[in-house]
Structure 1
């Protein structure tokens, strides 16, 4: 079950990343590379798994996880933001995709 990371009450324009105290195991957060779920918290680092659309949801059950865990250090936390409660994916541009024949 995913939980929300703590929000310190600032807007996203005021926020410069997240603090270590904003994280909890199971909370989800966003980076420029996508949505992540916190799996462990150290004294200066956060470990997380990336949540991709095309994986079987059972891959995110653990530990151990079927997907690799990544470590975010104190400098990486500056690029993190709390994720909205539910996963929201925008595929509105899908109808404009054009398939071209190979060859």
Structure 2
């Protein structure tokens, strides 16, 4: 039986959790976890280091090293929860037209 983490979202082709091996990572490659999109900044013998790509940051924060955002270490157990990202970043803003601004005050 497939769990909710293994289901395919018909809108997003990058929503399937596949799991990755260390050999699939290169510096600069992007991947997905449950917490978002990441870019690999270093590959070691058993770990990788990556920065999280957030929508609200200035793109220059991702130029480095050194980076203006913190780098995080992923060990071999963390890599099992990573999925390759599609070459083009995709952000679902389909609900944007339903947002209702509320008056301040």
Q: Give the TM interval when normalised to the shorter protein.
A: 0.7 to 0.9
Q: Distance in 2 between matches of 1:69 and 1:88?
A: 22
Runs of 5+ consecutive residues of structure 2 not aligned to the other structure = 1-14
Q: What is the TM-score normalised by the length of structure 1?
A: 0.80
Q: What corresponds to 1:37 in structure 2? A: 39
Stretches of structure 1 lacking an aligned partner (at least 5 in a row):
1-11
1:6-43 deviation per Cα after TM superposition (whole angstroms, max 9, x unaligned):
xxxxxx8693x100000000000001111000000111
Question: Number of paired residues?
Answer: 91
Q: 2:74 aligns with which of 72, 75, 79?
A: 72
TM-score with structure 2 setting the length: 0.78
Cα RMSD, aligned residues only: 1.8
CA distance in 1, matches of 2:71, 2:77: 18
